[in-house]
Amino acid sequence: MRPAAVLGIILLILFGLNTGFWWYTFRQADRYENQLEAYRISVASLGLTDLCIATEARYTRHPAVSDYLSPFMDHPGAVEHFPTGTFWQAPPYLQRTGEQQ
Amino acid sequence: MKVLLEKHLNILDFALSTIWRRKQKNISIFVVFSAVIFLLASFQMLTRSLTSLAQDTLKETPEILVQKLSAGRQTGLPVVYSDGLTGIFGIKKVVPRIWGYYFSEVTGANLTVMGLDFSEMPMADQIDLTLEEGRYPEKGEAGVVVGRQVEEVLQLGGRTTISLFRPDLSLKGFTVTGRFADEASLLTGDLLVTGLKEARDLFALPRDQVTDLCVYVANPREISTIAAKISDIFPDTRVLTRSQILKTYQVVFNWRSGFGSICLLTALAAFIIMAWDKASGMSAEERKEMGILKVLGWETSDLMALRFWEGVVVSVLAFITGCTLAFIHIVFFQAALFRPVLLGWSVIQPPLQLLPEFSLADLLLIFSVTVLPYLAATVIPAWRCASVPSDTALQG
Amino acid sequence: MLIELRAVTKIYNRDRPNEVVALKEVDLAIEEGAMFCLRGPSGSGKSTLLAIIGCIFPPTKGRAMIAGKQLARLPDRFLTLHRRRAIGFIFQQFNILPKLSVIENAALPLLPLGVSPRSRREKADRLLEQLGIIHRRDFPAEQISGGELQRLAIARALINDQPIILADEPTAHLDSRLSLDFMEIMSGLKEAGKTIVITSHDPLVADHPAIDRIVEVYDGEIHVF
């Protein structure tokens, strides 16, 4: 078999695979529509304002009900949210006490 | 025509055998190339899916939210404010609500507690559809509906009672009356929903206070007018409209995907430098080979076609492979690689059951920032090199 | 005349300080089916003459008719097209691509002609058979011996059934036995009607009975014996 034919077969396999995926997505779309309906009902009946992504910091979980100071109002044990909190270090005097201990 | 086709098939054959002869170089390019496309496509697919999901579902969010500000931060809002609002023409309904966060020190999870009068909400007749099992608590009952992830984090198992700490560390007991539906975990996973009175008791809020008011209007076109009126009447409040929330949400998402994109752009830049170096640098051996082919009667255009096919095979295969892997990553592995970026170090991590959003524009964008530069990097030097005089092969 | 040069002059780097006149007003005629040997020290213009006969570049001045086409009039692209129809090359170091198999090497000139894999294989098989290296057909070229390499180079030069064979110092890296072998094959081709031009210092080539004429190239001028 000539190399171009081998390439053709590989492409065909990849193409078939992707068509399969596309078909899968297409079929999922129905189920997804139901899910979306469940989402809409949840949002409406509970008055939600956002998705439950990044729950550990209120300023990312509920942008609509947080304010500028909320990052500092979380529980001290709560781990900071990445990447929101990665741009600032703790103030130098705190770092120094840390070393002494 | 047939000859032209056969000619290009022949050149393609030869290009493939050339690729195979330089396996090491080409496979390494292929792997890196696929990885870059995989990352770009995954990220694009994920953020697009999430954004469109948010845009779709949050259309039902309360039309106006009223919060009270004091010293620049949000504080409790006296319930009497809602009486003041009912006087505004056009307002259909005002629902007072208590929101709060409950940090579970044992597990490190941040839970969201919400207290409201369910029967007042829109779609109240369908509210039971949001539950997987059980029911919403009756008025006056110390019941709570928990999200799927809350149940897991608190390790409820079959238990139907939970105790949460009040601010003074006394315990407040709840009966679990229901659990939210699995498929809506992305919205309700971290929620504990109870009645207004119970939430107030848990957080030890003053009797006359709530966190915010959800305001529903009769005519959606009047939202901004009514919002303006509210802030006129109560200057100490912050009034948020639905469109503002949607906008904020999009900004937050854009911000995060922008952050991710910047990381990926560096990868892309590194890749382009590598590809340029690998693809455009023609070794002495390759130059000689081209010289030989030219003397054997290959035209400049044939040589360029040869390099073009080499580039096309590597880059298009890598493109398709990368996109296919991205799909598998997003759909079957729930974007496992990007969860840390998107979900942070959250203890509560709802499953990202997403319908992948294909957008031709995304694919074209990725194609044009990866495949096209690569092709340019392979063909342009060949064009320069194919004009080497054919007598270089003579007196070799 | 298959090859006819009239007052051919070739100047490199014309009108520049490093201008070199490689050929001066050369006249040469080679009839079909003849075998010529070009001889001369390096820098004599021998390679330039071979390159003009081989349609690699046109002369600066003069008329060069090669297999019925006048070179000076052809643009570069047609020079290539004409070359692959008319000329088969055998190079000093054979210029075989070492990683390709013997048959792939032999069929290289056919690829851009749009010849199908099947007829490519048939043509190459026939030539490899004739030249006695069919048993090496699928070996990588880097694994075959010097003599076989040389035969492969000949096969490649003949694959397109070109009327003219040009060999550039073909015996420079061969021992005398292989050189004689080579000349035997060449005389066989001559009998089959090919026109052959060989550049060589090698007395084994120049003195071979099949050689019709010897062309001495010296300082850009030629003398035909």
ipTM for the predicted complex comes to: 0.81
Using a CB-CB cut-off of 8 Å, the residues of chain B touching C114 are 2-7, 10
Cβ pairs bridging B and C (under 8 Å): 94
* CB within 8 Å: B394 and C168: yes
Which residue does chain B place closest to C84, by CA atoms?
A: B297
Which residue does chain B place closest to C109, by CA atoms?
A: B296
* CB within 8 Å: B21 and C93: no
- Quick one: average pLDDT of A73-97? 55
Q: What pLDDT does B395 receive?
A: 47
User: Nearest CB to C47: which of B4, B299, B394?
Assistant: B394
Q: Which of B58-67, B260-269, C87-96, C135-144 has the lowest mean pLDDT?
A: B260-269
Residues of chain B with pLDDT under 50: 393, 395-396
Q: What pLDDT does B342 receive?
A: 66
Dihedrals φ, ψ of C181, to 5°? -50, -50
Closest CA to C89 of C169, C6, C177: C169
Q: What pLDDT does B55 receive?
A: 78
CA dist list (Å): B350 to B46, B186, B188, B192, B334: 15, 6, 9, 15, 10
Q: How many whole angstroms separate alpha carbon B193 and alpha carbon B199?
A: 8
The chains found to touch B (3+ Cβ pairs under 8 angstroms) are A, C
- Chain B interface mutation, best of C111, C149, C159, C161, highest count of B Cβ atoms under 10 Å: C111
* CB within 8 Å: B394 and C77: no
* CB within 8 Å: B259 and A83: yes
The answer to whether residues C201 and C124 touch, using CB atoms and an 8 Å cutoff, is no
pLDDT digits (tens, 9 = 90+) for A19-76: 998 888 888 777 777 778 888 888 888 888 777 776 665 555 665 555 544 544 455 5
Q: When comparing pLDDT for B280 and C120, which is higher?
A: C120
Q: Both tokens of residue B341? A: 């970026």
- Determine the 3-state secondary structure of B169 from DSSP: coil
- Judged by a CB distance cut-off of 8 A, whether residue C98 touches chain B is no
- Chain B interface mutation, best of A23, A30, A51, highest count of B Cβ atoms under 10 Å: A51
Q: Count other C-beta atoms under 10 Å from residue B160's C-beta.
A: 11
User: Nearest CB to A29: which of B99, B118, B355?
Assistant: B355
Q: Which residues of B186-215 are buried (b: 16+ CB within 10 A; e: fewer)?
A: bbbbbbbbbbbbbbbebbebeeebbbbbbb
Using a CB-CB cut-off of 8 Å, the residues of chain A touching B114 are 46
* CB within 8 Å: C160 and B297: yes
Between the two ends of chain A, the Cα-to-Cα distance in Å is: 73
The answer to whether residues C72 and C219 touch, using CB atoms and an 8 Å cutoff, is no
* CB within 8 Å: C116 and B389: no
- Residue B94, beta-bridge partner list: B215
Name residues 362-391 of chain B within 8 A of A (Cβ): none
Using a CB-CB cut-off of 8 Å, the residues of chain B touching C95 are 288, 292, 295, 393, 396
Q: What is the DSSP-derived secondary structure letter of residue B289?
A: H
Closest CA to B67 of B244, B330, B188: B244
- Residue C223, beta-bridge partner list: C216
- Residue B359, beta-bridge partner list: none
* CB within 8 Å: B391 and C47: yes
Q: What pLDDT does A60 receive?
A: 57
User: Nearest CB to B355: which of A2, A25, A52?
Assistant: A25
pLDDT digits (tens, 9 = 90+) for C195-213: 999 988 888 888 888 888 8
* CB within 8 Å: C112 and B298: yes
* CB within 8 Å: A61 and B180: no
The answer to whether residues B209 and B199 touch, using CB atoms and an 8 Å cutoff, is no
**Treating both helix axes as pointing N-terminal to C-terminal, what angle do B300-331 and C76-86 enclose, rounded to 10 degrees?**
100
Closest CA to B58 of B310, B249, B192: B249
Closest CA to B145 of C205, A45, C170, C224: A45
The answer to whether residues C182 and C165 touch, using CB atoms and an 8 Å cutoff, is no
Q: Both tokens of residue B52? A: 């469109």
* CB within 8 Å: B74 and A17: no
Q: What pLDDT does A77 receive?
A: 52
Q: Which of A22-31, B281-290, C7-16, C84-93 has the lowest mean pLDDT?
A: B281-290
Using a CB-CB cut-off of 8 Å, the residues of chain A touching B65 are 49, 64-65
Confidence of residue A89 (pLDDT cuts 50, 70, 90): low
- Residue B191, beta-bridge partner list: B112
- Residue B145, beta-bridge partner list: B178, B193
Q: What is the DSSP-derived secondary structure letter of residue B1?
A: -
User: Nearest CB to A32: which of B12, B214, B355?
Assistant: B355
Closest CA to B120 of B216, B223, B227, B242: B216
Q: Shortest Cα distance from C112 to chain B (angstroms)?
A: 5
* CB within 8 Å: C95 and B5: no
Name residues 244-303 of chain B within 8 A of C (Cβ): 288-289, 292-302
Q: Shortest Cα distance from C51 to chain B (angstroms)?
A: 7
Q: Which residues of B227-263 are buried (b: 16+ CB within 10 A; e: fewer)?
A: bebbeeebeebbbbbbebbbebbeebbeebbeebbee
User: Nearest CB to B248: which of A40, A42, A64?
Assistant: A64
Q: What pLDDT does C47 receive?
A: 83
* CB within 8 Å: B341 and A7: no
Between the two ends of chain C, the Cα-to-Cα distance in Å is: 18
Pairing relationship of beta strands B77-78 and B209-210 according to DSSP bridges: antiparallel
Q: How many whole angstroms separate alpha carbon B81 and alpha carbon B219?
A: 22
Q: Both tokens of residue B378? A: 């392979």
